Structure 1
Amino acid sequence: MTDAAPPSHALLVVDVQKAGVTGGRAVPGAAGLLDRTADLIARARRAGALVVHLQNDGAPGSDDEPHTPGWALHLPVEAGPTEFVIRKTRDDGFAQTSLGSLLSGAGVEAVTVCGVMSEMCVQATARTALALGYRVVLPHDAHATQDIPAAPGISAAVPAAVVSRVAAWAISGDAEVTVPAADVRFAAPRTGAR
Protein backbone atom coordinates (compact mmCIF):
# COMPACT_ATOMS: atom_id res chain seq x y z
CA MET A 1 0.00 0.00 0.00
CA THR A 2 1.27 3.44 -0.85
CA ASP A 3 0.42 6.46 1.23
CA ALA A 4 0.03 8.48 -1.99
CA ALA A 5 -3.09 6.57 -3.03
CA PRO A 6 -6.17 8.44 -1.79
CA PRO A 7 -8.79 6.43 0.08
CA SER A 8 -12.09 5.27 -1.32
CA HIS A 9 -15.24 6.95 -0.04
CA ALA A 10 -17.57 4.09 -0.92
CA LEU A 11 -17.47 0.32 -1.25
CA LEU A 12 -19.74 -1.20 -3.88
CA VAL A 13 -20.38 -4.87 -3.05
CA VAL A 14 -21.76 -6.30 -6.28
CA ASP A 15 -24.14 -9.27 -6.18
CA VAL A 16 -22.57 -11.19 -3.31
CA GLN A 17 -25.68 -13.35 -3.18
CA LYS A 18 -25.97 -16.92 -2.01
CA ALA A 19 -26.46 -18.32 -5.54
CA GLY A 20 -23.01 -17.12 -6.59
CA VAL A 21 -20.95 -17.82 -3.50
CA THR A 22 -22.39 -20.99 -1.92
CA GLY A 23 -23.16 -24.52 -2.99
CA GLY A 24 -22.25 -26.32 -6.17
CA ARG A 25 -22.62 -23.24 -8.37
CA ALA A 26 -20.37 -21.00 -6.28
CA VAL A 27 -17.58 -19.15 -8.03
CA PRO A 28 -14.17 -20.83 -7.67
CA GLY A 29 -12.41 -19.53 -4.57
CA ALA A 30 -15.66 -18.27 -3.03
CA ALA A 31 -14.46 -18.72 0.56
CA GLY A 32 -11.44 -16.48 0.03
CA LEU A 33 -13.52 -13.94 -1.88
CA LEU A 34 -16.02 -13.82 1.00
CA ASP A 35 -13.25 -13.35 3.57
CA ARG A 36 -11.71 -10.46 1.62
CA THR A 37 -15.11 -8.87 0.96
CA ALA A 38 -16.10 -9.11 4.63
CA ASP A 39 -12.79 -7.46 5.55
CA LEU A 40 -13.38 -4.65 3.03
CA ILE A 41 -16.86 -4.10 4.44
CA ALA A 42 -15.58 -4.01 8.04
CA ARG A 43 -12.83 -1.52 7.21
CA ALA A 44 -15.18 0.70 5.17
CA ARG A 45 -17.67 0.75 8.06
CA ARG A 46 -14.97 1.67 10.58
CA ALA A 47 -13.80 4.55 8.36
CA GLY A 48 -17.31 5.93 7.86
CA ALA A 49 -17.28 5.22 4.12
CA LEU A 50 -20.52 4.35 2.35
CA VAL A 51 -21.15 0.63 1.90
CA VAL A 52 -23.58 -0.20 -0.90
CA HIS A 53 -24.70 -3.78 -1.42
CA LEU A 54 -26.02 -4.26 -4.96
CA GLN A 55 -28.52 -7.11 -5.19
CA ASN A 56 -29.49 -8.52 -8.56
CA ASP A 57 -33.13 -9.35 -9.21
CA GLY A 58 -32.87 -12.27 -11.63
CA ALA A 59 -35.49 -13.46 -14.05
CA PRO A 60 -38.16 -15.97 -12.98
CA GLY A 61 -36.57 -19.39 -12.61
CA SER A 62 -33.02 -18.05 -12.30
CA ASP A 63 -30.74 -18.77 -9.35
CA ASP A 64 -31.17 -15.17 -8.16
CA GLU A 65 -34.90 -14.83 -8.68
CA PRO A 66 -36.17 -12.40 -6.01
CA HIS A 67 -37.18 -13.90 -2.68
CA THR A 68 -35.60 -17.30 -3.40
CA PRO A 69 -32.74 -18.67 -1.27
CA GLY A 70 -30.12 -17.90 -3.94
CA TRP A 71 -31.21 -14.26 -4.19
CA ALA A 72 -30.40 -13.48 -0.54
CA LEU A 73 -27.29 -11.43 0.23
CA HIS A 74 -24.65 -13.67 1.78
CA LEU A 75 -22.93 -11.13 4.03
CA PRO A 76 -24.82 -9.28 6.77
CA VAL A 77 -26.00 -5.74 6.10
CA GLU A 78 -25.96 -3.05 8.78
CA ALA A 79 -28.56 -0.78 7.24
CA GLY A 80 -28.24 2.81 8.36
CA PRO A 81 -27.05 6.24 7.27
CA THR A 82 -23.90 4.87 5.60
CA GLU A 83 -24.97 1.38 4.50
CA PHE A 84 -27.55 0.58 1.85
CA VAL A 85 -28.97 -2.21 -0.28
CA ILE A 86 -29.87 -1.27 -3.85
CA ARG A 87 -31.70 -3.80 -5.98
CA LYS A 88 -31.03 -3.90 -9.70
CA THR A 89 -32.21 -5.73 -12.79
CA ARG A 90 -29.27 -5.04 -15.11
CA ASP A 91 -25.54 -5.75 -15.01
CA ASP A 92 -24.73 -2.08 -14.40
CA GLY A 93 -25.47 -1.12 -10.80
CA PHE A 94 -26.15 2.45 -11.93
CA ALA A 95 -28.76 1.53 -14.57
CA GLN A 96 -32.26 2.48 -13.44
CA THR A 97 -31.24 2.57 -9.75
CA SER A 98 -30.58 5.24 -7.14
CA LEU A 99 -26.83 4.44 -6.94
CA GLY A 100 -25.70 7.52 -8.86
CA SER A 101 -27.76 9.94 -6.80
CA LEU A 102 -26.73 8.24 -3.55
CA LEU A 103 -23.00 8.58 -4.34
CA SER A 104 -23.35 12.10 -5.69
CA GLY A 105 -25.44 13.27 -2.76
CA ALA A 106 -22.91 11.92 -0.28
CA GLY A 107 -19.97 13.65 -1.94
CA VAL A 108 -18.28 10.41 -2.96
CA GLU A 109 -15.24 10.89 -5.20
CA ALA A 110 -13.72 7.40 -5.16
CA VAL A 111 -15.24 3.92 -5.10
CA THR A 112 -13.89 0.44 -4.57
CA VAL A 113 -15.79 -2.27 -6.44
CA CYS A 114 -15.85 -5.95 -5.44
CA GLY A 115 -18.11 -8.97 -5.92
CA VAL A 116 -19.37 -11.22 -8.72
CA MET A 117 -19.34 -11.72 -11.71
CA SER A 118 -16.12 -10.06 -12.85
CA GLU A 119 -16.89 -9.74 -16.56
CA MET A 120 -20.54 -8.85 -16.09
CA CYS A 121 -21.93 -6.84 -13.18
CA VAL A 122 -18.59 -5.92 -11.57
CA GLN A 123 -17.10 -4.63 -14.82
CA ALA A 124 -20.30 -2.87 -15.95
CA THR A 125 -20.64 -1.05 -12.63
CA ALA A 126 -16.96 -0.08 -12.59
CA ARG A 127 -17.14 1.22 -16.17
CA THR A 128 -20.10 3.46 -15.41
CA ALA A 129 -18.42 4.75 -12.25
CA LEU A 130 -15.41 5.70 -14.40
CA ALA A 131 -17.63 7.35 -17.00
CA LEU A 132 -19.23 9.41 -14.22
CA GLY A 133 -15.83 10.66 -13.10
CA TYR A 134 -15.24 8.55 -10.01
CA ARG A 135 -11.82 7.23 -9.12
CA VAL A 136 -12.31 3.45 -9.29
CA VAL A 137 -10.36 0.80 -7.40
CA LEU A 138 -10.97 -2.79 -8.49
CA PRO A 139 -8.90 -5.02 -6.19
CA HIS A 140 -7.62 -7.97 -8.22
CA ASP A 141 -8.45 -10.46 -5.46
CA ALA A 142 -11.92 -9.15 -4.55
CA HIS A 143 -13.98 -10.12 -7.59
CA ALA A 144 -14.64 -13.50 -9.17
CA THR A 145 -16.57 -15.38 -11.82
CA GLN A 146 -17.16 -18.84 -13.27
CA ASP A 147 -15.05 -20.82 -15.74
CA ILE A 148 -16.06 -20.35 -19.37
CA PRO A 149 -16.74 -23.77 -20.91
CA ALA A 150 -14.87 -24.91 -23.99
CA ALA A 151 -16.29 -23.96 -27.36
CA PRO A 152 -15.45 -26.77 -29.78
CA GLY A 153 -13.57 -25.44 -32.77
CA ILE A 154 -13.05 -22.06 -31.11
CA SER A 155 -11.24 -22.44 -27.78
CA ALA A 156 -10.54 -24.62 -24.78
CA ALA A 157 -12.22 -23.87 -21.47
CA VAL A 158 -11.12 -20.59 -19.88
CA PRO A 159 -10.42 -20.76 -16.14
CA ALA A 160 -12.34 -18.32 -13.95
CA ALA A 161 -9.15 -16.63 -12.73
CA VAL A 162 -8.22 -15.80 -16.32
CA VAL A 163 -11.71 -14.46 -17.05
CA SER A 164 -11.50 -12.19 -13.98
CA ARG A 165 -8.06 -10.95 -14.95
CA VAL A 166 -9.17 -10.14 -18.50
CA ALA A 167 -12.29 -8.36 -17.22
CA ALA A 168 -10.14 -6.17 -14.98
CA TRP A 169 -7.50 -5.66 -17.65
CA ALA A 170 -10.17 -4.35 -20.04
CA ILE A 171 -10.66 -1.31 -17.78
CA SER A 172 -7.17 -1.10 -16.29
CA GLY A 173 -6.18 2.00 -18.24
CA ASP A 174 -8.60 4.03 -16.15
CA ALA A 175 -9.13 2.02 -12.95
CA GLU A 176 -6.69 0.82 -10.32
CA VAL A 177 -6.84 -2.96 -10.72
CA THR A 178 -3.59 -4.33 -9.35
CA VAL A 179 -4.06 -3.37 -5.73
CA PRO A 180 -4.89 -6.27 -3.38
CA ALA A 181 -7.99 -5.91 -1.22
CA ALA A 182 -5.86 -5.73 1.93
CA ASP A 183 -4.25 -2.50 0.66
CA VAL A 184 -7.47 -0.59 -0.01
CA ARG A 185 -8.01 2.35 2.32
CA PHE A 186 -11.31 4.03 3.13
CA ALA A 187 -12.45 7.41 4.40
CA ALA A 188 -15.80 9.05 4.94
CA PRO A 189 -16.99 11.02 1.89
CA ARG A 190 -16.84 14.79 1.99
CA THR A 191 -20.54 15.61 1.83
CA GLY A 192 -21.33 17.84 -1.10
CA ALA A 193 -17.81 17.61 -2.57
CA ARG A 194 -18.97 16.45 -6.03
Structure 2
Amino acid sequence: MKKEQYEIGDHHLPVDGLLVVDVQSAFVQGTEAVPGHGELLSMIAVLLAQARSAGAPVIFLQNDGQPGAVDEPFQPGWELHFPPRPGERVVRKAEDDGFEGTDLDGILKASGVRDLAICGVLSEMCVAATARAVLERGYGVLLPHDAHATYDVPAGPGSQGVPAVMAARAAEWSLGDEVRICASARDVRFKVRI
Protein backbone atom coordinates (compact mmCIF):
# COMPACT_ATOMS: atom_id res chain seq x y z
CA MET A 1 0.00 0.00 0.00
CA LYS A 2 1.32 3.44 -0.93
CA LYS A 3 1.85 5.82 1.95
CA GLU A 4 1.12 9.51 1.53
CA GLN A 5 4.25 11.51 0.78
CA TYR A 6 3.21 15.09 1.55
CA GLU A 7 5.63 16.79 3.89
CA ILE A 8 5.33 20.17 5.59
CA GLY A 9 7.87 22.89 6.27
CA ASP A 10 11.37 21.97 7.41
CA HIS A 11 10.58 18.33 8.24
CA HIS A 12 12.26 17.11 5.07
CA LEU A 13 15.91 17.17 4.05
CA PRO A 14 17.02 20.11 1.92
CA VAL A 15 17.84 19.51 -1.73
CA ASP A 16 21.08 20.24 -3.62
CA GLY A 17 19.71 21.49 -6.94
CA LEU A 18 16.73 22.53 -9.04
CA LEU A 19 15.60 20.95 -12.31
CA VAL A 20 13.16 23.10 -14.32
CA VAL A 21 11.39 20.93 -16.91
CA ASP A 22 10.19 22.43 -20.21
CA VAL A 23 8.95 25.79 -18.87
CA GLN A 24 8.73 27.10 -22.42
CA SER A 25 6.58 29.90 -23.82
CA ALA A 26 4.19 27.57 -25.68
CA PHE A 27 3.10 25.90 -22.44
CA VAL A 28 2.92 28.84 -20.03
CA GLN A 29 1.82 31.88 -22.06
CA GLY A 30 -1.27 32.85 -24.01
CA THR A 31 -4.49 30.99 -24.69
CA GLU A 32 -2.77 27.61 -25.11
CA ALA A 33 -1.04 27.72 -21.71
CA VAL A 34 -1.64 24.99 -19.14
CA PRO A 35 -4.53 25.72 -16.77
CA GLY A 36 -3.35 27.66 -13.71
CA HIS A 37 -0.19 28.82 -15.47
CA GLY A 38 -0.06 32.09 -13.48
CA GLU A 39 0.17 30.28 -10.15
CA LEU A 40 2.56 27.71 -11.64
CA LEU A 41 4.93 30.43 -12.83
CA SER A 42 4.84 32.21 -9.47
CA MET A 43 5.76 28.98 -7.65
CA ILE A 44 8.59 28.21 -10.08
CA ALA A 45 9.82 31.78 -9.54
CA VAL A 46 9.89 31.04 -5.79
CA LEU A 47 11.98 27.92 -6.41
CA LEU A 48 14.38 29.78 -8.69
CA ALA A 49 14.83 32.57 -6.14
CA GLN A 50 15.47 30.08 -3.32
CA ALA A 51 17.92 28.00 -5.35
CA ARG A 52 19.81 31.05 -6.61
CA SER A 53 19.97 32.57 -3.14
CA ALA A 54 21.52 29.34 -1.81
CA GLY A 55 23.95 29.04 -4.72
CA ALA A 56 22.39 25.69 -5.68
CA PRO A 57 22.81 24.42 -9.25
CA VAL A 58 19.87 25.27 -11.53
CA ILE A 59 19.37 23.19 -14.67
CA PHE A 60 16.74 23.91 -17.31
CA LEU A 61 15.42 21.20 -19.62
CA GLN A 62 14.24 22.52 -22.99
CA ASN A 63 12.19 20.27 -25.23
CA ASP A 64 12.91 20.23 -28.96
CA GLY A 65 9.51 19.52 -30.52
CA GLN A 66 8.94 18.10 -33.98
CA PRO A 67 8.66 20.44 -36.98
CA GLY A 68 5.33 22.24 -36.74
CA ALA A 69 4.94 21.54 -33.01
CA VAL A 70 4.35 24.42 -30.58
CA ASP A 71 7.84 23.82 -29.14
CA GLU A 72 9.67 23.47 -32.46
CA PRO A 73 13.27 24.67 -31.95
CA PHE A 74 13.96 28.35 -32.54
CA GLN A 75 10.27 29.23 -32.81
CA PRO A 76 8.61 31.58 -30.27
CA GLY A 77 6.96 28.75 -28.31
CA TRP A 78 10.30 26.98 -27.81
CA GLU A 79 11.88 29.83 -25.82
CA LEU A 80 12.42 29.32 -22.10
CA HIS A 81 10.07 31.47 -20.01
CA PHE A 82 12.68 32.12 -17.30
CA PRO A 83 16.02 33.24 -18.73
CA PRO A 84 18.92 31.21 -17.32
CA ARG A 85 21.56 33.18 -15.44
CA PRO A 86 25.30 32.80 -16.04
CA GLY A 87 26.47 29.40 -14.82
CA GLU A 88 23.01 27.83 -15.08
CA ARG A 89 22.81 24.97 -17.56
CA VAL A 90 20.30 24.40 -20.35
CA VAL A 91 19.90 20.81 -21.53
CA ARG A 92 18.07 20.37 -24.80
CA LYS A 93 16.16 17.13 -25.21
CA ALA A 94 13.92 15.40 -27.72
CA GLU A 95 12.34 12.77 -25.44
CA ASP A 96 10.14 12.92 -22.32
CA ASP A 97 13.00 11.57 -20.17
CA GLY A 98 15.48 14.40 -19.68
CA PHE A 99 18.38 11.92 -19.49
CA GLU A 100 17.75 10.19 -22.82
CA GLY A 101 20.32 11.37 -25.35
CA THR A 102 21.59 14.19 -23.07
CA ASP A 103 24.45 14.87 -20.66
CA LEU A 104 22.11 15.57 -17.72
CA ASP A 105 23.58 12.80 -15.56
CA GLY A 106 27.12 14.11 -16.08
CA ILE A 107 26.01 17.66 -15.24
CA LEU A 108 24.37 16.50 -12.00
CA LYS A 109 27.42 14.48 -10.99
CA ALA A 110 29.86 17.29 -11.85
CA SER A 111 27.72 19.70 -9.80
CA GLY A 112 27.68 17.38 -6.78
CA VAL A 113 23.89 17.14 -6.84
CA ARG A 114 22.33 14.18 -5.01
CA ASP A 115 18.81 15.47 -4.24
CA LEU A 116 16.75 17.50 -6.70
CA ALA A 117 13.63 19.60 -6.56
CA ILE A 118 11.80 19.14 -9.86
CA CYS A 119 9.23 21.52 -11.33
CA GLY A 120 7.69 22.28 -14.71
CA VAL A 121 5.43 20.78 -17.36
CA LEU A 122 3.81 18.47 -18.36
CA SER A 123 3.16 16.55 -15.14
CA GLU A 124 2.34 13.13 -16.59
CA MET A 125 4.83 13.33 -19.43
CA CYS A 126 8.23 15.02 -19.16
CA VAL A 127 8.05 15.80 -15.43
CA ALA A 128 7.10 12.23 -14.48
CA ALA A 129 9.44 10.56 -16.99
CA THR A 130 12.39 12.65 -15.83
CA ALA A 131 11.54 12.17 -12.14
CA ARG A 132 11.47 8.38 -12.68
CA ALA A 133 14.82 8.52 -14.44
CA VAL A 134 16.27 10.64 -11.61
CA LEU A 135 15.11 8.05 -9.08
CA GLU A 136 16.43 5.14 -11.18
CA ARG A 137 19.89 6.76 -11.14
CA GLY A 138 19.90 6.94 -7.35
CA TYR A 139 19.17 10.63 -6.89
CA GLY A 140 16.53 11.89 -4.49
CA VAL A 141 13.47 13.74 -5.80
CA LEU A 142 11.33 16.39 -4.14
CA LEU A 143 8.28 17.38 -6.18
CA PRO A 144 6.40 20.49 -4.99
CA HIS A 145 2.71 19.95 -5.74
CA ASP A 146 2.08 23.54 -6.85
CA ALA A 147 5.15 23.75 -9.12
CA HIS A 148 4.14 21.34 -11.91
CA ALA A 149 1.13 21.31 -14.20
CA THR A 150 -0.46 19.79 -17.27
CA TYR A 151 -3.47 20.12 -19.54
CA ASP A 152 -6.96 18.67 -19.13
CA VAL A 153 -7.02 15.10 -20.39
CA PRO A 154 -9.77 14.70 -23.02
CA ALA A 155 -12.32 11.93 -22.82
CA GLY A 156 -11.34 8.68 -24.46
CA PRO A 157 -13.36 5.69 -25.67
CA GLY A 158 -15.66 4.74 -22.81
CA SER A 159 -14.16 7.29 -20.41
CA GLN A 160 -14.67 10.84 -19.23
CA GLY A 161 -12.15 13.63 -19.42
CA VAL A 162 -9.86 14.38 -16.48
CA PRO A 163 -9.30 17.95 -15.23
CA ALA A 164 -5.68 19.11 -15.33
CA VAL A 165 -5.35 19.35 -11.53
CA MET A 166 -6.44 15.73 -11.15
CA ALA A 167 -4.11 14.59 -13.94
CA ALA A 168 -1.20 16.35 -12.20
CA ARG A 169 -2.03 14.68 -8.88
CA ALA A 170 -2.30 11.27 -10.57
CA ALA A 171 1.14 11.85 -12.09
CA GLU A 172 2.55 12.44 -8.59
CA TRP A 173 0.91 9.30 -7.28
CA SER A 174 2.26 7.22 -10.18
CA LEU A 175 5.85 7.95 -9.12
CA GLY A 176 5.56 5.65 -6.11
CA ASP A 177 6.96 5.82 -2.59
CA GLU A 178 10.49 6.89 -3.55
CA VAL A 179 9.50 10.42 -4.55
CA ARG A 180 8.99 13.03 -1.83
CA ILE A 181 6.11 15.44 -2.40
CA CYS A 182 5.56 18.69 -0.56
CA ALA A 183 2.48 20.87 -0.79
CA SER A 184 4.19 24.04 -1.96
CA ALA A 185 7.36 25.40 -3.53
CA ARG A 186 7.52 27.60 -0.43
CA ASP A 187 8.26 24.46 1.62
CA VAL A 188 11.40 23.60 -0.38
CA ARG A 189 14.80 24.30 1.21
CA PHE A 190 18.10 24.25 -0.67
CA LYS A 191 21.48 23.43 0.84
CA VAL A 192 23.50 26.63 0.95
CA ARG A 193 26.64 26.57 -1.22
CA ILE A 194 27.73 30.19 -1.05
Please report the TM-score for the alignment, with normalisation by the length of structure 2: 0.92
CA distance in 2, matches of 1:16, 1:84: 14
What secondary structure sits across from 1:3 in the alignment?
helix
Counterpart pick for 1:63 among 60, 70, 78: 70
Query: Which residue does 2:111 correspond to in 1?
Result: 106
Residue 161 of structure 2 is matched in structure 1 by 157
Which structure 1 residue ranges, 5 or more long, are not aligned? Answer: 190-194
Alpha-carbon offset, residue 67 of structure 1: 0.3
Match of residue 178, structure 1, among 178, 182, 185:
182
Deviations 1:115-148 (A, max 9, x none): 0000000001100100111110011111000001
Alignment of 1:14-163 (within 5 A): 14-80=21-87, 83-152=88-157, 154-163=158-167
Q: Distance in 1 between matches of 2:42 and 2:86?
A: 20
Post-superposition offset of 1:88? 0.5
Q: Is the 8 A contact 1:58 1:89 kept in 2?
A: yes
- Runs of 4+ deviating beyond 6 Å: none
Identity %, equivalent residues: 52
Q: Distance in 1 between matches of 2:183 and 2:103?
A: 28
- How far apart are residue 156 of structure 1 and its match? 1.2
Secondary structure (helix, strand or coil) at the match of 1:177 reads: strand
TM-score where L is the length of structure 1: 0.92
Q: Does residue 16 of structure 2 align to residue 12 of structure 1?
A: no
Which ranges of structure 2 fall in alignment gaps of 5 or more residues?
1-7
Q: Which residue type is aligned with residue 15 of structure 1?
A: D
Partner amino acid, structure 2, of 1:13: V
Other-structure match for 1:169 = 173
3-state DSSP class of the match of 1:115?
strand
Contact kept, 8 Å, 2:146 with 2:184, in 1: the verdict is: yes
Assess if the C-alpha contact under 8 Å between 2:17 and 2:116 holds in 1. Answer: yes
The residue identity in structure 2 corresponding to 1:38 is A
Q: Deviation of residue 31 (structure 1)? A: 0.5
Alpha-carbon distance between aligned partners in 1 of 2:81 and 2:181, rounded to the nearest angstrom: 24
Separation (CA, whole Å) in 1 of partners of 2:176 and 2:152: 21
Structure 2 partner of 1:192: none
Q: Secondary structure at the match of 1:25?
A: coil
Check conservation: 2:10, 2:187, Cα contact below 8 A.
no
Equivalent-residue separation in structure 2 for 1:188 and 1:89 (angstroms): 32
CA-atom RMSD in angstroms = 1.2
Distance 2:142 2:54 in 1: 17
Offset of 1:177 from its aligned partner? 1.7
